[in-house]
Amino acid sequence: MQKFLLVVIPTMENAYHRLKDFVAIPVPIGITTIAAVLEQSGHRAGIIDGDAEDLTSEELLDRVVRENPDYVGSTSMTATMDLTVDFYARLKKRLPRVKVVLGGPHVSALPTRTLQDHPQIDVVVRREGEETIVDLLAAAEQGRDLRTVRGIAFRTETGEVVSTEDRPLIEDLGKLPLPAYHLLRYDRYRSYGWNSWTSGCREPIGVVFTGRGCFGKCNFCAARVVFGAGIRFFPIERIKQELDLLVNQYKIRVLYFQDDTFTANRKMVNDVCDYLIEKGYQSRLDIMVSSRTDTVHLPTLQRMRQAGIRWICFGVESGNQAVLDRMHKNTTLDDIRNAFRLANQAGLSVAGNYMIGALGETWETAMDTINLACEMKQDYASFAITIPLPGSELYEHCLQKGTPLPSWTGFGNVNSPPIPLNENLGGEQLRELRRLATNRFFKRPGFFLRLLWRYRAWAVITDFARAYLALRQEMKANRY
């Protein structure tokens, strides 16, 4: 059987610089699930996570060469695409025969362009990869034409790029094996810095999905290019098995349900909460979820808190209704205020994710967002500048309008120059608004006193002091 090595190319230093200690190193669920189906089908699989193992690109390259795999692959994200193709160009010089396979949102959105621009990439796996990757390796072993493999794009011997028919989405997610956690150095993964405010722990962290996809239609989101429209849920028994494995074998202290909208399926939420309580996990874990503001229900939020869920992160995006409408968020300012009120009433810690620079944004509408963030009773907030990711409606809008777009490295959220989408807000104005939002929100005395009262005071003070110094250095380097 063939050997497939899955790698995470190190990007933390390039993306975050002095802020990297504050961000999470997430468990790479995508490639660990791919590794699991490869092992299930009899192939040899391995994982090297350059970020988690704190490797340089050269160190990772040496490791891959020593492994000498038949195939090597990665998940592609737009902001790291330039680093990814550079890594594989160097790898091909040392291992010319190795086949390079990329999956993920970026190449799912731009499969043909990826292969045309980058001869070092041999195959693109579009959308979900578990069934496709097994079929791809079977076709190679059997000598089948790759045109028979649904859901890929590849380059023929003559240089022609061929894109095969779409593979249907996996309807029965329960048939997927549990992720191949045993292939990871599991102790190297961690949550966000602010998780330490509550429990004092950032690791070990477990990441679990109760489903795939989202029912939202936000114009800035590219999730549909991989998972399609709507949500497909894992069976509750599989979720229970994964929770047991993570708690009992990997001894996790922090758990993140990484669904875009954890509260979308109220029955699923209640079933998960019942199991957490039944097993006593609510007293052993610091749990975080993400959600939309139009899916909250007080009794469900209260049950979540009883089950050990501490943090809920809402995708607010904007404090201006016209901007929300234009991004097709399908939420209202009343939804937002109600969600924060109910989450606080349930005893949850609340975080809000906000966005500056969406289509139709002006200085005044951005100030509406900043004012709303400061109005809401919440324990953390993040302020991002809108990015038109390939696969999103926003990216297509930019192409149609001729909006200047940078190289892929310029699609990052922290250390990349902003991409202006509106004529009245240039890059420097967007940066100024993000700085203003950060300063206005985090420098409020009442907010800081709230954190000291609710959380471990020394952890909060230490975190704020370190973050302040790091942000000053990033601003001095003109990266934030």
Does the reported pTM lie above 0.85? Answer: yes
Q: What per-residue confidence (pLDDT) applies to 15? A: 67
Instruction: For 383-394, write each residue's pLDDT tens digit.
Output: 999 999 999 999
Evaluate whether 3-163 and 191-476 have a shared fold.
Answer: no
Q: What per-residue confidence (pLDDT) applies to 177? A: 98
Instruction: For 76-87, write each residue's pLDDT tens digit.
Output: 999 999 999 999
Alpha helices (H) in 183-223, listed in sequence order: 196-199
Instruction: For 373-418, write each residue's pLDDT tens digit.
Output: 999 999 999 999 999 999 999 999 999 999 999 999 999 877 678 9
E strand residue ranges, 309-429: 309-317, 349-356, 380-385
pLDDT band, residue 121 (cuts 50/70/90): very high
Q: What per-residue confidence (pLDDT) applies to 201? A: 87
Instruction: For 173-191, write each residue's pLDDT tens digit.
Output: 999 999 999 999 999 999 9
Do strands 123-125 and 99-103 pair parallel, antiparallel, or not at all (unpaired)? Answer: parallel
Q: What per-residue confidence (pLDDT) applies to 285? A: 96
Q: What per-residue confidence (pLDDT) applies to 479? A: 64
Instruction: For 311-360, write each residue's pLDDT tens digit.
Output: 999 999 999 999 999 999 999 999 999 999 999 999 999 999 999 999 99
- Taking the C-alpha atoms of residue 171 and residue 316, their distance in angstroms, rounded to an integer, is 30
Q: Which residue, among 282, 316, 326, has the nearest Cα to 296 in the 3D structure?
A: 316
What is the Cα gyration radius of the chain?
A: 22
Instruction: For 432-441, write each residue's pLDDT tens digit.
Output: 999 999 999 9
pLDDT exceeds cutoff 80 at 151:
yes
Which CATH code for domain 191-476?
3.80.30.20
Q: What per-residue confidence (pLDDT) applies to 196? A: 84
Task: Assess contact for 132 and 102: CB atoms under 8 A.
Answer: no
pLDDT band, residue 46 (cuts 50/70/90): very high
pLDDT exceeds cutoff 90 at 471:
no
- Give percent of the chain above pLDDT 90: 88
Q: What per-residue confidence (pLDDT) applies to 291? A: 97
Q: What per-residue confidence (pLDDT) applies to 206? A: 97
Residue 138 φ then ψ, to 5°: -65, -40
> Domain-by-domain residue ranges, the chain?
3-163, 191-476
pLDDT band, residue 363 (cuts 50/70/90): very high
ω into 119 cis (within 30 of 0) = no
Q: What per-residue confidence (pLDDT) applies to 480? A: 66
Task: Assess contact for 420 and 357: CB atoms under 8 A.
Answer: yes
Which CATH code for domain 3-163?
3.40.50.280
pLDDT exceeds cutoff 90 at 16:
no
Helices (H) and strands (E) in the chain, counts: 19, 15
- Identify the H or E element spanning 159: none
Average pLDDT over residues 256-261: 96
- Taking the C-alpha atoms of residue 480 and residue 463, their distance in angstroms, rounded to an integer, is 18
Q: What per-residue confidence (pLDDT) applies to 19? A: 74
pLDDT exceeds cutoff 90 at 147:
yes
- Taking the C-alpha atoms of residue 480 and residue 477, their distance in angstroms, rounded to an integer, is 8
Which residues are bridge partners to 3 per DSSP? 44
Q: What per-residue confidence (pLDDT) applies to 474? A: 72
